Amino acid sequence: MIRWFLRGVTGRRLTTRYPRASEPPPSGFRARALLPSEPVTGEAATRAAAACLPRALSVDRDGALAFDETRCIGCGLCADALTMDPGYESARLGDSRVPLSPAFRRSLHIRHVDTGSDGAAEQEIAALMNPYYDMQRLGLFFTASPRHADVLLVTGPVTRPMEGPLRRAYEAMPEPRVVVAAGTDACSGSIWTEPEVLGGVDRVLPVDVYVPGDPPTPIALLHGLLLASGRAQEASSAGTKSAA
């Protein structure tokens, strides 16, 4: 045990200073597609929309390319028409934009529920506890019971067998409560469709914070949780629902 103690007290600081300092992604990181400022039209728009499996890109009535970031998996197959945004901070508030409780500003207790993820989002959530992110320093904690939870952190599109357990976990939570959809599949259902998958979490529960990402990076998750506690803002690059 003394060896672990010595290993624990030696060594340099690894922990990010996020959110006080920004944590830049590496160049070439594919977080999501980025629409140019002028509308994409014509054949380029049709081709980009056809290459988009989760239908994040579509051609609207005016023939211009529209973008729904909650569906984007960052595959980059549209990148001959668009560019890719490497930015980690992807979280957005839900349409309801209910004022989040001031009780959440200092500390949050989080209950995670998997409703059909691919398994990577869970590992990115677990990474929040590694020394690089160390979410406890921000007053964020996981709790085993939904009865002690402020946040329901949901990963995965909602499969039919998981609809009931998801509802029951939500109903067991005390109010006020926040639902965070973590990952593109939880935000919108992503590439998955009926009949096995109902769609995104908002088909079942009111979603307060969307954290798109495939999988959502640890910084994206931290940003989403801080947004839920009222301690962060939506990133300026995110939040553009369409080019129009």
Partner 1 sequence: MVDAGSLATSLERLGGRLMMLFAVDSVGGGQELCALVHADDAVIKLRAPVRGDGYPAVTRVVPAAHWFEREIHDLHGITPHGHPRLEPLVTHPPDDGEVKLFGEGDVGPTHRGAERLAGPGVFVIPYGPVRSGVFEAAQFLVQTGGEDVAYCAQRLFFKRRGAERRVCEVPLELAVLVAERVSGTSSVAHALAFSHAVEGLAETEVPARAQAIRRSLAELERLYNHLEATVRECEDASLSVAQAQFAALKERLHRLAGRVAGNRFLRGTVVPGGTRIDLDTDAVDLIAATLAEWEREWRRVLAVLLRTDSFLDRLVSAGPLSEEDARDFACVGPVARGSGIDLDARRDLPYDAYPEFQVAHHSDGDAMARMEVRFQEVLCSLELIREGIQSLAPGATRSEIGPFARRSALGVAESARGETLYWLEADGDGTLRSCKLRAASFVNFGIFNRVFDSQVLTDFSFIEHSLGLSPAGCDA
Binding piece for partner 1, criterion CB under 8 A, among 37-45, 58-66, 112-120, 234-242: 112-120
From the list 22, 193, 239, 244, which residue makes contact with partner 1 (rule: CB under 8 A)?
Answer: 193
**CB 104 → partner 1: shortest distance, Å?**
20
Is residue 26 part of the contact set for partner 1 (CB under 8 A)? yes
Q: Which of 44, 51, 232, 235 binds partner 1 (CB under 8 A)?
A: 51
Residue 186 in contact with partner 1, rule: CB under 8 A: no
Smallest gap, in angstroms, from Cβ of residue 129 to partner 1? 7
For residue 101, the minimal CB distance to partner 1 (Å) is: 24
DSSP line for the chain: -HHHHHHHHSS------TTTS--PPPTT--SEEE--SSPPBHHHHHHHHHT-TT--EEE-TTSBEEE-GGG-----TTTTTSEEE--S---EE-TT-PPPPGGGSS-EEEEEEESS--SHHHHHHHHTTSTTT-GGGGTEEE-S-GGG-SEEEEES-EEHHHHHHHHHHHHTSPSS-EEEEESHHHHH-TT--TTTEEESGGGTS--SEEE--SSPPHHHHHHHHHHHTTSS---SSS------
Kindly state whether residue 7 participates in binding partner 1, applying the rule CB under 8 A.
Answer: yes
Q: Counting contacts by CB under 8 A, is residue 90 touching partner 1? A: no
Among 32, 71, 112, 177, contact with partner 1 (rule: CB under 8 A): 112
The footprint of partner 1 (CB under 8 A) covers 1, 3-5, 7-8, 14, 25-26, 28-30, 51, 53, 73-77, 84, 86, 112-127, 129-132, 142, 144-146, 156-157, 159-166, 168-169, 185, 190-193, 195-197, 214-215, 217
